[in-house]
Amino acid sequence: MAWDFDTDPDFAEELAWIDAFVRDEVEPVDLFVKDPWNVHDPLRNDLIVPLQRQVKERKLWACHLGPELGGPGYGQVKLGLINERLGRSLAAPIVFGCQAPDSGNSEILAHFGTAEQKDRWLEPLLDGRIVSCFSMTEPQGGSDPEILTTSAHLDGDSWVIDGEKWFSSNAHVAAFLIVMAVSEPNAPAYKRHSMFIVPADTPGIELVRNVDGHHGYVRYNGVRVPADHILGGRGDAFVVAQTRLGGGRIHHAMRTVGLVRHNLDLMCRRALSRYTAGERLANKQLVQAAIADSWCEIEGFRLLVLQTAWKIDKYQDYKRVRGDISAVKAMMPKVLNNVASRALQIHGSIGISDEMPFMDAVRDSFIVGLADGPTEVHQTNLAKALLRNYAPDDDVFPDYHVIRRRERAEAKFADILGRHGVLANLSR
């Protein structure tokens, strides 16, 4: 048996340091830096860059990367335990060099980038000197590949990109954007698109607006990039995208574990601190039920996340754990919404104000339910994966019908049942 829920002492020490560092040094930064991705903000840099140096000195920088890219190569399980500590702070992933969308974009560049592309974009991205944007979904059709219309056509030695993209994370501060566009319009749906590196200072990029401060509505008006700015081959965009999406989804879930635990912590503290109708909230059975339900949901979700991380480490194949990742992705928004909503309710009127974090967490629950594919898509993918393990019954009464089971059992135990007179009793 290889089951083990212990953490080795050396790594447990690192987790303790991360926990204290995030609580004491990083969470206070959240009060002043609302956009940790904005590397052009002097206040952000003065507060965050010294913390990044401490993380690098501790050799905890970019823990999602393998040694070949300068990371420690911890694997997904250890990364999950780290991300639990980071999830309660907006700035923490940036401080530790593992923030979305840059973590996924770095994986794309590492796998598909040329030597020149890696020198120009990957090295400063990994070092935290620049941030990037992933520009895939569109306002009219989300991420449905059959509805995406942004196009790229080859004109001499340049690709020309035209179209609109929606919720392009950090487009307003990115040094470059990774853009998915239709380059092979006559190919099958999942072979029509290619990925392109588009430097942010390329003429023709129009930031129509920031939808919520971090996600850009971007218009590409005849944007020209050199022919060698393609990532992977022509028509390979979805192969390239899966390189980042599998890991990105599980990393979001890891951080969400930390966020929901933080909400439970605050819920419990409030329940012990406030009184109504002559007794503590903690003595009210409905409050106790809210706390108990929240703990059960969090622990179930956390164990699924860690088991999925373990499978990724074991198989080194995201396709093999696609159903597990879909299950994690489908659970994540519901658990976050449930726990944050209960914490908000137990805090009363102050819970709905901007003086508490619960409204942001409730809002985030809808964001994680849409990012990297809506919940319903992942529920469908999981169901399809599960159904492939079963075969249909070809009779009106299936073989698990009690009468048919009894008939088989009577035949199996006929001698014994006969000696005890059971068969005679059954026949009467």
* Predicted local confidence at residue 426, as pLDDT: 58
On whether both 248 and 366 belong to a single domain, the answer is: yes
Buried-state track 277-292, b at ≥16 Cβ within 10 A, e below 16: eeeebbeeeebeebbe
Between the alpha carbon of residue 77 and those of residues 64, 302, 303, 318, the distances in Å are 10, 11, 11, 14
Q: Which of 213, 231, 249 is at the close of a domain? A: 231
* Predicted local confidence at residue 294, as pLDDT: 98
Q: Which of 231, 250, 277 is at the close of a domain? A: 231
Q: CA 324, CA 309: separation in Å to the nearest integer?
A: 9
* Predicted local confidence at residue 312, as pLDDT: 92
Cβ within 8 Å of residue 328, ≥6 positions away: 249, 250, 253, 301, 304, 305, 308
Q: Which of 231, 255, 283 is at the close of a domain? A: 231
End-to-end CA distance of the chain: 50
On whether both 222 and 196 belong to a single domain, the answer is: yes
The CATH number that applies at residue 147 is 2.40.110.10
Structural domain boundaries, residue 193: 132-231
**Structural contact between residues 96 and 82, judged by C-beta atoms closer than 8 angstroms:** yes
- Share of residues in the chain with pLDDT > 90 (%): 82
Q: Is residue 95 part of a domain?
A: yes
Query: pLDDT grade, residue 354 (50/70/90)?
Result: very high
pLDDT higher than threshold 60 for residue 113: yes
Helices and strands in the chain: count of H runs, count of E runs: 16, 10
* Predicted local confidence at residue 46, as pLDDT: 98
Q: Is residue 325 part of a domain?
A: yes
Q: What is the mean pLDDT of residues 285-302?
A: 98
pLDDT higher than threshold 70 for residue 1: no
Q: What is the mean pLDDT of residues 314-332?
A: 92
The CATH number that applies at residue 94 is 1.10.540.10
On whether both 247 and 382 belong to a single domain, the answer is: yes
Q: What is the mean pLDDT of residues 386-409?
A: 93
Q: Is residue 48 part of a domain?
A: yes
Q: CA 134, CA 178: separation in Å to the nearest integer?
A: 5
Count of domains in the chain? Answer: 4
- Cα–Cα–Cα angle for 229, 232, 234, nearest 5°? 85
On whether both 379 and 411 belong to a single domain, the answer is: no
Torsion of CA 71, 76, 78, 81, to 10 degrees: 120
Q: Tokens representing 121?
A: 């974009």
Q: What is the mean pLDDT of residues 104-112?
A: 89
Q: CA 354, CA 359: separation in Å to the nearest integer?
A: 7
On whether both 140 and 273 belong to a single domain, the answer is: no
Secondary structure E strands in 377-420: none
**Structural contact between residues 202 and 161, judged by C-beta atoms closer than 8 angstroms:** no
On whether both 89 and 21 belong to a single domain, the answer is: yes
Q: Is residue 225 part of a domain?
A: yes
Indicate the DSSP class of residue 278: T
Q: Is residue 104 part of a domain?
A: no
Q: CA 366, CA 228: separation in Å to the nearest integer?
A: 38
Q: Is residue 3 part of a domain?
A: no
Express each pLDDT in 41-66 by its tens digit: 999 999 999 999 999 999 999 998 88
On whether both 249 and 155 belong to a single domain, the answer is: no
Q: Tokens representing 401?
A: 């019908």
Query: pLDDT grade, residue 30 (50/70/90)?
Result: very high
Q: Tokens representing 32?
A: 């002043």
**Structural contact between residues 46 and 107, judged by C-beta atoms closer than 8 angstroms:** no
Q: What is the mean pLDDT of residues 413-425?
A: 83
Mean pLDDT of all residues in the chain?
93
pLDDT higher than threshold 70 for residue 406: yes
* Predicted local confidence at residue 143, as pLDDT: 66
On whether both 359 and 414 belong to a single domain, the answer is: no
Q: Is residue 105 part of a domain?
A: no
Query: pLDDT grade, residue 425 (50/70/90)?
Result: low
On whether both 141 and 206 belong to a single domain, the answer is: yes
Q: Is residue 24 part of a domain?
A: yes
On whether both 253 and 371 belong to a single domain, the answer is: yes
The CATH number that applies at residue 302 is 1.20.140.10
Q: Model pTM?
A: 0.91
**Structural contact between residues 109 and 125, judged by C-beta atoms closer than 8 angstroms:** yes
For 388, other C-beta atoms within 10 Å of its C-beta total: 9
Cβ within 8 Å of residue 271, ≥6 positions away: 280, 281, 282, 287, 291, 346
**Structural contact between residues 304 and 260, judged by C-beta atoms closer than 8 angstroms:** no
- Share of residues in the chain with pLDDT > 70 (%): 98
pLDDT higher than threshold 90 for residue 423: no
For 152, other C-beta atoms within 10 Å of its C-beta total: 26
On whether both 264 and 381 belong to a single domain, the answer is: yes
On whether both 245 and 376 belong to a single domain, the answer is: yes
Query: pLDDT grade, residue 67 (50/70/90)?
Result: confident
